[in-house]
Structure formats: structure tokens, C-alpha cells
Amino acid sequence: MLVIAAPGQGAQTPGFLRPWLDDATFAARLDWLSAVAGIDLAHAGTEADESTIRDTRVAQPLLVGAGLVTALELFPHPGDAFARIGAVTGHSVGEIGAAAGARVITAEQAMVLVRERGNAMAIASAATPTGMTAVLGGDRAEVLEAIARHGLTAANDNGPGQVVAAGTLEQLAAFADDAPARAKLRPLSVAGAFHTAHMAPAVDHVAALARSVSVHDPRTPIISNADGRILHDGREVLARIVGQIARPVRWDLCLETMLDLGVTGLLEMPPSGTLTGIAKRFFRDRGVSVETFSLATPDQLDDARAFCERHGEASQIETSPTWRMVVSPAKGVFHRAEEALERDLLAPGVTIGDVTSLRDRIPVEAAHGGHVVEWLVEDGDPVSPGQPLLRLHPEAVPA
């Protein structure tokens, strides 16, 4: 089972795109996305220095654009990808690239969204001096308690021993003077407190623009970095892309979902290394063997394609013109709703049941409604993330 992951801001390094631009097709595609984003992505990925590509307004379009064009190098015929990829996901801004890869939005829509996201976050960051500090090691409960005690937010929870605290510079300074036992603090070179309430103005701006974005349901399951849930409704994917600007990233829960899915191979898109490094430690600590691949340069493409072939399997929710599938958002026990069970025709947005796990109770909706073709699970059945629950014929439901 293959998962493709897109990295977030901070993964970029000066010159990381240089070897890719020897390919004329790659360069032309990047130029097109540069025109959409209003930024010279080729210059940013080859000649720009570290301080330039650290700028939020540059870093975010650069990361998404690089991922989108590299994906076309990995899968020259995009339709082939849906017979290989079990799920896609992205850390922070990487979720925009993942959504485009799953065909929820177009590449052009992704670049407009990321351009506006980066600009709005840069403006929000300038309003108040804020920052982020990585907390490495220490007891998890003590780390989270100390972060909360100083009024900070655990903006990134990347797994055992890797939490990022975010807030004002004064709060971070006080936190540094009162660091949790056995924890190392590493201030991050970022413009502000991303994924916290400090970014609320950016959410408002991007949300207003997103109302004009048309979406499609994903061709491949998307693992949400908000809570690790499997998404199969394009409108929800877009809403979460907007909301995550000021919402913590729970990469630890994404990794948990990968385990629930039965992942055997995790491939990270360029600029790679950060997410596969976290994943290796996470899976090793769980005693699970998962092969990882960090795609960094074009001379790795043949090996990367072989990796995808070795681990690939078709998506369970690939779209079809004759029926729609409702799938489980998480691991747990499925309980069917009586109202849905008694009807042959379901209205859009009706709740068909819920999935109960040790963590929470998650309602499951039939986003588009339609005629019930067949139930694929019984009440009380254990389910895994992305497992098909109900097959519907997408016929219009009378008002």
C-alpha cells in the first residue's frame, strides 16, 4: 500500500530544483505555474538564497509548484497514478499539492490559493512579532503542559519527541527559560506563528477566495493533516485547506492512519527528507516495517517508479460515472443510522451512521446522496480508514 506525501514549509533548501530544470518539459511546466503564481519559481528554486526562499510569500508557492511538476515527472500519464496510490497527504502547505494531485482542484487553482495563502500569512505575521520553536525529546505530557502554561500552541505535533510550539516572541522566550525536562529547544527560522490563532486574518482572506473555487471529489483518499481522517468529499478538502492556516498540524495522527491503512511504502515528494525522517522513527518505534523513499533528484525517477510499482494498489474511491462510494473516515466500529437504513433514496448530506473509535465518534455523511445500491458493512462491523461503507447511484434527489 503506497502513500505519497508532500512536505511543508521549512523543507526547502537553496538550489534544490537545479537538477530538475535540465529537463525542458519540467522547465516549461514550472514557467506556467510561475505565471499563475506571479513568482519566478525557477529562480527561487535555483539561484535564490536561503533568506529569500524562507520568505513565506516565496516558500509556499515554491513548494507546491515543485511538487506538482515533479509529480508529472514521476507519473507522466497521471491516470496511471490512481492505479498505484493508496492515499496522498501533505504537511501544512503540502496539503494543497496533495489536493491537486488527487484532482480535487486544478494545478492553477492550487497556485492561486497558495499565492494568496502565502501573502496573507506574511501580512498576518507582520502584525505581531511571533515565531516557532521545535521541542525535541522530553516527556510528551510535560512538553504539552509547558506549552499550554506559557500560552503557546502546539502548532505541529509530528510524533513522539517532535512538537513545535508557536506564539509571541515573549512567550517563546519565557518558554525557553522554563524548558521541559530532558527536552531540547530549537528556534525555527520562520516568519511567524503558523497554524495558530495569530493567522486568523489569513484564514478570512483565503476563505473569501475559496468560495469561488470549484472542486471535485478526490480520485485518491486524502489523509487530512488536521486529525488523520480520510477525506472523500472535495468540499471538505477545500474547507480544511483553508482552516489549517490557523489550525495545528497533527502529523502524528496522519502516521497513525497510514498504519491503519496498512501502508508498506511512503514516498516523499521534493524537497524531501523531512517527512520520511519522521516516519522512519515513528514506524521503528511501533515495530512496523515500512519502506520509505525520498525523491530529491531526477536521477532517482526510475527507482521511484519501481518503488511505486512495488507498493502500489488501486484507490478504493476512484470516481466512477455510474456510482459513488461512501467510505470510512477513520478506524473504528461503524454504526448505521436507522433513517438511512430504512430508505432507498438518500438526500445529499444525510448522515448514514458514525464511526466510533477510542478517540472520538465521527459522523459519516453521504455528501451527494442518491439511490442505495448496496450496503458494504453491517451495523457494528469494525472498519478501517478509507474502507467502502455504502455504494450509491448518483441520481438526482427530488427537492
Q: Looking at the annotation, which residues are catalytic?
A: 92, 195
Q: Which contacts qualify for 374-382: CB closer than 8 Å, 24 or more apart?
A: 375/336, 375/341, 377/334, 377/336, 378/336, 379/334, 379/335, 379/336, 379/341, 379/353, 380/333, 380/334, 380/335, 381/333, 381/334, 382/332, 382/333, 382/334
Instruction: Copy the grid coordinates of residue 143.
Output: 512538553
Q: Is the peptide bond before 398 cis (omega within 30 degrees of 0)?
A: no
The DSSP secondary-structure symbol of 249 reads: B
Instruction: Copy the grid coordinates of residue 115.
Output: 499565492
Residue 241, H or E segment? helix 234-243
Q: Which contacts qualify for 275-279: CB closer than 8 Å, 24 or more apart?
A: 275/5, 275/7, 275/11, 275/91, 275/251, 276/5, 278/158, 278/159, 278/162, 278/251, 279/255
What's the one-letter identity of residue 52? Answer: T
| Helices assigned H by DSSP within 150-233 | 169-177, 200-210
* Cβ atoms of 122 and 130 closer than 8 Å: no
* Cβ atoms of 266 and 292 closer than 8 Å: yes
* Cβ atoms of 334 and 103 closer than 8 Å: no
- Cβ count within 10 A of residue 185: 16
* Cβ atoms of 329 and 218 closer than 8 Å: no
| Residue 202 φ then ψ, to 5° | -70, -35
